[in-house]
Amino acid sequence: MSTSVSCVQRADSPSLQIEAINEPDVAGLRLGVPLVPNETITRAYNYFPEFHGADEPYWLEKPHNTLYDASDHVSKGVSPTTYPKNHFWFSLKGYDDIRFGGELQVMHKWVDRVKGELIRPVYVTPVASVIPGSNVLIARGGPQQVVVEVEALTDSLSGQLNVKLPEGWATTKDLKLVNIPKRNTQQSFTFQLIPMEKAEGGAVKFEFSGPKGKADRTLHEIDYPHIMPQVYYTPAEVKLVPLDVTTTAKTVGYIKGAGDDVPQAIEQLGATVDFIEPSAATLESIQKYDAIVVGIRAYNNNHGMKAFNPTLMEYAENGGTVVVQYTTRTSDMVLPDSLIGPYPFKLTRDRVTVEEAPPTFLAKDHPLLNTPNKITTADFDGWVQERGLYFCGSLDPHYTSLIAWNDPGEQPLNGALITCDYGKGRYVYTGISFFRQLPAGVPGAYRLFANLISKRGQERNEE
């Protein structure tokens, strides 16, 4: 790698001399140059790093869920950062041959025509970033497709992209040959996954291999104006979930809230998803949807919901299905909570934080718990982080509570999933944390959500 080192002494005294980059007893750049006040000394520095691994936060190196495993970290305590691979020491010599020094990180500096001079750390990365098109694949029967991109993190990248499949799956025998001339450019590949008898779920793992090295992770960058950019990695794999799930919804409208991956999960159920902008939508433009899903906290941060909500209720009254995910009762609400649904209810801060909390079905014969998918307690196995949050209470009698659960030692809460028939359609409010469960590939969450977006009346026809 090629870099340069600059040093300047601002004060007239004491007399100092820059000795070396890296300690003198370590191979590096030896200088031995006296410093002249206010004159910058710059020297080129070429070195041949033999790095093992890439720059990333040490607490993310090992697989983790809600807790991090940093047992191999060299520090006895908890360090806020990780020493980068491009990390050096410098040494200075003063009077009486007193030596002292400090540490340096290699930085990249450039000039942006708008923002001016910018600076960022130089990170050591793998030769490539392997990027699956999604983290979860719901296999609803038959062959499946996975699109994977390889992004070159070096020039002249060549090699092969390989796949390792769970038990009972096969793929085509054509080689996925990688040939990318320039760094930061991508090449896309499509893998056909073919289920055999007794195909099992599991991780579909991807790995690039070539003359310059191997890569089996996806690079992510956190880059905001107020902090130095940071990078971290996730395994280049897709969670494959064979699942018996059906929904009658073919087209779904989605209103964005605070941001989540629920729209991608709905597409995994086989439905087409369009995004709806409340400020521009009309009743005529939304009648084509079998269901409309409102994203988390949309009533807190989407100001168009205030004028659009009566139209949304009219859509339900005309036969549509409306599914509202949790919102919070705070000062930034665009509507009082009593006006969110077709009949009043109040939002609370109730939640169930134990993800294993057993559910109690309060209306076990209700269509939403039976069609198109029969929901059982087994559908609540394997959930992550929590059951739900910001449940509702003080329900109008028109609403039916479907599920109750509670944290250990607390009273059961029945406001996580409520519904009512409204005109020819249906309204659902749910505090269940689908925004966590669906991206995590929790099978039962997909089956329950598929029921919620199914059109009222069609499930009865199927019966």
Q: How many CB atoms lie within 10 A of CB 443?
A: 19
Answer yes or no: is 139 within a domain.
yes
* Separation in Å, CA 23 to CA 89, 99, 102, 331: 6, 11, 10, 58
Q: How far, in Å, CA of 110 to CA of 245, rounded?
A: 52
* Separation in Å, CA 354 to CA 11, 360, 380, 381, 406: 61, 15, 12, 12, 8
Answer yes or no: do 96 and 169 share one domain: no
Answer yes or no: is 73 within a domain.
no
pLDDT of residue 463: 39
Answer yes or no: is 54 within a domain.
no
Answer yes or no: do 164 and 132 share one domain: yes
Answer yes or no: is 67 within a domain.
no
pLDDT of 228 over the 90 cut: no
Answer yes or no: is 71 within a domain.
no
Q: Label residue 197 exposed, middle or buried (CB < 10 Å: 0-12, 13-18, 19+).
A: exposed
Answer yes or no: do 398 and 415 share one domain: yes
pLDDT of residue 459: 54
What mean pLDDT comes out for the span 82-110? 85
Residue 443 belongs to domain with CATH number: 3.40.50.880
Least reliable range by pLDDT among 57-71, 176-190, 284-298, 382-396: 57-71
DSSP secondary structure letter of residue 333: -
Give bridge partners of residue 401 from the DSSP assignment: 418
Answer yes or no: do 132 and 183 share one domain: yes
- The parent domain of residue 402 ranges over 251-462
| Main-chain dihedrals φ then ψ at residue 155, nearest 5 degrees | -75, 155
Q: Taking the CA atoms of the chain, what radius of gyration do you get in angstroms?
A: 29
Helix (H), strand (E) at residue 100: strand 99-105
Answer yes or no: do 228 and 263 share one domain: no
pLDDT of 309 over the 90 cut: yes
What mean pLDDT comes out for the span 263-268? 96
Answer yes or no: do 160 and 291 share one domain: no
* Separation in Å, CA 189 to CA 36, 151, 177, 193: 57, 11, 9, 13
pLDDT of residue 99: 86
pLDDT of residue 77: 64
Answer yes or no: do 206 and 337 share one domain: no
Answer yes or no: do 326 and 443 share one domain: yes
Answer yes or no: is 79 within a domain.
no
Sign of the alpha-carbon torsion through 116, 119, 120, 126: positive
Got the DSSP string for 362-420? SSTTSGGGTSSS---GGGGTT--S-SEES-EES--TT-EE-EEB--TTS--B--SEEEE
State which of 219, 242, 265 marks the end of a domain: 242
Residue 220 belongs to domain with CATH number: 2.60.40.10
Answer yes or no: do 375 and 425 share one domain: yes
Q: Nearest 5°: CA angle at 351, between 432 and 326?
A: 45
pLDDT tens per residue, range 118-174: 999 888 899 999 999 999 999 998 999 999 999 999 999 999 999 999 999 999 999
Answer yes or no: is 77 within a domain.
no
Those residues whose C-beta lies under 8 Å from the C-beta of residue 425, and which sit 6 or more positions away, are: 315, 316, 317, 318, 319, 320, 321, 322, 456
Answer yes or no: do 382 and 297 share one domain: yes
pLDDT of residue 32: 86
Answer yes or no: is 62 within a domain.
no
State which of 242, 261, 277 marks the end of a domain: 242
Please count the structural domains in the chain: 3
Q: Which two three-digit tokens encode residue 431?
A: 């505090």
Do residues 161 and 178 make contact, with C-beta atoms less than 8 angstroms apart?
yes
Average pLDDT, the chain: 91
State which of 190, 217, 242 marks the end of a domain: 242
Answer yes or no: do 190 and 207 share one domain: yes
pLDDT of residue 146: 96
Answer yes or no: do 274 and 238 share one domain: no
Amino acid in position 109? K
